[in-house]
């Protein structure tokens, strides 16, 4: 697991605005949306983005050898693709998305951290807040990036796979927190991907990722954040495994936990697409009682 850092994982729009000219700064638009949303993140990037930003394609920068969506790529692949975006080993990275609820920016942030990069933060409030404040926007395709020298090595302690989740069903050592909507968690709503069963991992608790942000898309204040986590049955004295539909919005919980100083967490990378897409994994379809 990465060493804790006193540096906040969040950057305000004001702070980013003051640092746009920094030579070490690399801004990434990490927008991604469910296929059913009807939104095209790359088209939206071309229509408008933070000056000098590059588009981080979550599906392209992933393990292409598996049918599971945007799984972590091999370290060598990630190093090459990050370098192609102009990122160096000492770059200061700020990631945002256009969802208004940190749907995917936290996933990009977590990915860099999983590959050993500590100088990375999420733009609090995302592109929506940046736009509402009338801050500068560029349109169209940015000029080609000068290749960087990014280095990557995966920290396996921040990732959980199918076997780890199976073992945790027996040991209950780590608390599994599902960040999907409550309807998807209970099975009342169908999954957006065909062939995926409804419900949740037995023993897991639910906290929709949309509950972690305020109306302007910024993370809720720490005390309210603690209260929301406690109300969802999340005990901050326990290690946490974050999961969701495909390992994307799960990272919003990791971001929130880091803000609160909780560093014992990991992401189930295959998440519900893997677990619910199999026939040999147990599924629950009702919420467990609150402790």
Q: Which residues pair with 123 in a beta bridge?
A: 11
Q: Catalytic residue at 244? A: yes
Distances from the Cα of 189 to the Cα of 182, 264, 282, 285, angstroms:
9, 31, 18, 11
- Which residue out of 177, 244, 251, 267 is catalytically annotated? 244
In whole angstroms, what is the distance from residue 286 CA to residue 281 CA?
Answer: 16
CB 285 within 8 A of CB 183: no
- Token pair 């009702």 is found at 286
Question: Buried b / exposed e across 113-144, counting CB within 10 Å, b at 16+?
Answer: bbbbbebbbbbbbbbbbbeeeebeeeeeebee
In whole angstroms, what is the distance from residue 130 CA to residue 49 CA?
Answer: 9
What is the DSSP track for 3-20? PP-SS-SEE-HHHHHHHT
Query: Can you read off the two tokens belonging to residue 230?
Result: 């406690």
Nearest Cα neighbor of 2 from 80, 115, 152 is: 115
Distances from the Cα of 263 to the Cα of 237, 239, 255, 257, angstroms:
10, 8, 10, 7
Instruction: State how beta strands 54-55 and 10-11 pair.
Output: unpaired
Distances from the Cα of 111 to the Cα of 137, 138, 229, 263, 269, angstroms:
26, 26, 23, 15, 11
CB 244 within 8 A of CB 269: no
Q: Which residues pair with 284 in a beta bridge?
A: 200
Catalytic residue annotation: 244
């Amino acid at each position: 697991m990465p060493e804790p850092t006193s540096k906040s994982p969040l950057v305000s729009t004001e702070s980013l605005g003051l640092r746009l000219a920094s030579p070490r700064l690399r801004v990434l638009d990490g927008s991604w949306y469910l296929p059913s949303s009807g939104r095209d993140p790359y088209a939206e990037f071309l229509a408008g983005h933070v000056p000098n930003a590059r588009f981080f394609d979550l599906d392209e920068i992933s393990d292409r050898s598996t049918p599971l969506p945007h799984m972590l790529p091999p370290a060598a692949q990630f190093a090459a693709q990050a370098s192609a975006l102009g990122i160096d080993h000492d770059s200061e990275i700020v990631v945002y998305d256009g969802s208004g609820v940190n749907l995917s920016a936290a996933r990009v942030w977590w990915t860099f951290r999983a590959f050993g990069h500590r100088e990375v933060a999420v733009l609090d409030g995302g592109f929506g807040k940046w736009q509402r404040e009338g801050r500068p926007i560029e349109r169209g395709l940015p000029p080609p990036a000068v290749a960087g020298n990014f280095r990557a090595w995966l920290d396996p302690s921040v990732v959980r796979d199918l076997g780890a989740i199976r073992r945790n069903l027996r040991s209950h050592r780590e608390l599994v927190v599902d960040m999907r909507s409550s309807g998807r968690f209970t099975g009342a709503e169908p999954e957006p991907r065909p062939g995926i069963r409804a419900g949740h991992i037995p023993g897991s608790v639910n906290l929709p990722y949309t509950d972690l942000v305020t109306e302007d898309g910024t993370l809720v204040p720490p005390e309210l954040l603690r209260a929301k986590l406690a109300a969802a049955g999340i005990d901050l004295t326990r290690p946490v495994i974050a999961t969701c539909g495909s390992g994307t919005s799960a990272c919003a919980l990791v971001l929130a936990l880091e803000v609160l100083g909780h560093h014992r967490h990991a992401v189930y990378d295959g998440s519900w697409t893997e677990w619910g897409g199999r026939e040999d994994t147990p599924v629950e379809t009702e919420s467990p009682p609150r402790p």
